[in-house]
Structure 1
Amino acid sequence: MDGPGTITWEEFLQDAERFLVVSDRISDGWEFRGDKDIPGQAYLFRRIKCFVPMSDSVIMRNDEEEKEEEEFHVKFQEDPHEAPRSNSLESPFITEHHILWSMSYGVPVLFFNGWRSDFPGINAMSVNEAQTIHDSKLNYMELSQAIHPILGTPFLQLHPCLSQELLQSMSKSKNKLVSWLSCVAPASLNLKIHPEYCKLTYEV
C-alpha cells in the first residue's frame, strides 16, 4: 500500500539499517533476522532478560475468579543496559520485541512477548496482563494476540491500522521508523528507546 501514512519496504530497510548502526554503537542488542531480499520477510529483533520483584509475579490460586482479577505490574530496572542482578526476592522476566513491515498496511508493526521465566516460551504473558502495564490501559482494538507472520507463533501485536495516522504526522522525520517506534514503545512492555536513536529523525 502506498500513500499518506505509509512507508515502502525500501524505506523500512533504509531506516532499519541506520537504526542498527546506532544499536551496535551503544550495544543495545537489536539485530536483523530473516530475508531482506523478500519484502516483509525480515524484521528487527531484540531480547532482554531482567529481574522483577517476586511480589509482582502472578500468584497461582485455586479460585479461578480470583485469578482472573489479578494484575501483573512489572517494575523494570531503570537502566536497561545494567547487568542483570538476581536474589531470592526477584524472579526472571524475559521480553522480546520484533519490528516488522506490513505489506497490507505499508507500515511498521510491533510484535512482542513477555515470559515470567528463565526461558522464552515458558509462562507467557496474556493480553490482559500486558494491558495492565501501560499507564492508560490499551483496548482490544489496539493490542491483541496474533500469529507472527514470519515465525508462525503467537505474539502480542499492536494493530498496524493505528500506525498510519502516526506516520502521517511524521512526514518531516528523517527516520520515520524511529519516530513511529518512539510513540508506540511505551505500550509494548515498557520498551525503552535510547535518546541516541532520536538523532536519526533529524540528521541526514
Structure 2
Amino acid sequence: MAAGSISEDEFWDSVIYFLKLSDKLDRKWTVREAKDGGKYVMKKEEELRCKDKDLTLGADFYRDQEVEEEDSSTLQTDGELEQRVLTYEYHIVYSQSYNVPVLYFNAHFQNGKLLSLEEIWEMVPAVYKERLSQDRWTFISQQEHPLLGRPFYFLHPCHTADLMKNIPTLSDKRHYIIAWLSAVGPVVGLELPLEYGQNFNP
C-alpha cells in the first residue's frame, strides 16, 4: 500500500476515533447507513448565513454561532432567509481504488437551489483559489455519489496519499481523518474546531 494511504480497517478505526471526539466536542458528525444496506457514510450538515443585504457568492457567510444577535435583523423575511442561508452536506466515504477517504459534499439554499460547480468555486477561500487555479476543475468535480446514487461534488482523491505522506504526526492512523480534514476541509467551507487537533484521548 502506498505511503500516505490507509486500509479500510484503518479508515474505520479512524472514523470511530473521530466520532468519539465529535461526541465530546460538538456532536455534529454521525454515521448513516446507505440506501443499499451494509454500506455506511460519515455525515455532517452545516448552515452558513450571509449578513450582506446584496447577496453574492463572494459575500461573507458565517456559521450560526458566528452570527451575532444584533445582526439577525438582516434575515427577517422568509424570502430573504431562503436566499441567505446556505446548507452544506458533507459525506466521507472510503475509496477502495485509492485507499484513502474521499470528501463528498453538496450545497444548497433553503429554497432547494443547488450551487453550480462555478458557484462552488466562487465560495473557495482566496488563499486556496490561487494555489489550486491550475487544477480547479479536477480538484473539485461532480459525479454520482458511490453509495447514494445521486450527484455530489467531491474532492478528487488522486493526490490525497501524496498529501498525507508528508504529515509527520500520522504514526497513529487513528488521527488520519482529523489530519486529512484539517488539510482539505477548509477549501469547501469545512473547518474543524482546534480541539480536534489537540492531544485528546477520549
Structure 1 residue 30, shift from structure 2 partner: 0.3
TM-score (norm 1): 0.78
**Identity of aligned pairs, percent?**
27
Confirm or deny: 8 A CA contact 1:109 1:160 kept in the other structure.
Answer: yes
Q: Given the alignment, which residue of 104, 109, 123 partners 2:113? A: 123
Question: Partners of 2:121 and 2:142 in 1: how far apart?
Answer: 12
Structure 2 counterpart of 1:62 = none
One-letter code aligned to 1:165: D
d(CA) in 1 for partners of 2:68, 2:190: 17
Deviation (angstroms), 1:192: 1.5
- By how many angstroms is 1:27 displaced? 2.4
**Number of aligned pairs?**
181
Q: Give runs of aligned pairs for residues 13-32 of structure 1, distance below 5 A.
A: 13-32=12-31
Contact 1:143 1:156 in 2 (8 A): yes
1:144 equivalent in structure 2: 141
Alignment partner, residue 100 of structure 2: 107
Cα root mean square deviation, aligned = 2.6
Counterpart-to-counterpart distance in 2, 1:78 and 1:48 = 8
Answering whether residue 177 of structure 2 is matched by residue 177 of structure 1, we say: yes
Quick one: structure 1 residues 54 and 110, their matched pair in 2 at CA, closer, same or farther if it must change by over 3 Å? farther
Structure 1 residue aligned with 2:190: 191
Kept after mapping to 1: 8 A contact 2:47/2:63: no
Residue in 2 that maps onto 1:7: 6
Verify: 1:94 aligned to 2:84, yes or no.
Answer: no
Normalising by structure 2, we get a TM-score of: 0.79
103-112 vs 135-144, which moves further: 135-144
SS in structure 1 opposite 2:114? coil
Shift of 1:146: 1.2
Q: Which runs of 5+ in 2 are unaligned?
A: none
Query: How far does the alpha carbon of each residue in 1:144-201 deviate from its partner, in whole angstroms, 9 at most, with x for none?
Result: 111100001111110000101112112532311111110101111x11111111126x
Q: Which has the higher helix share?
A: 2
Closer, same or farther: CA 31–114 of 1 in aligned 2, 3 Å: same
Task: Give the secondary-structure state (helix, strand or coil) at the position aligned to 2:49.
Answer: strand
Unaligned 5+ runs, structure 1? 58-71
Q: Which runs of 4+ in 1 moved over 3 A?
A: 78-86
**Any conservation in 2 of the 1:80–1:192 contact (CA below 8 Å)?**
no
Aligned-partner Cα distance in 1 for 2:20–2:201? 14
CA 1:191–1:156: 2 relative to 1, 3 Å: same
Compute the displacement of 1:74 (Å): 4.8
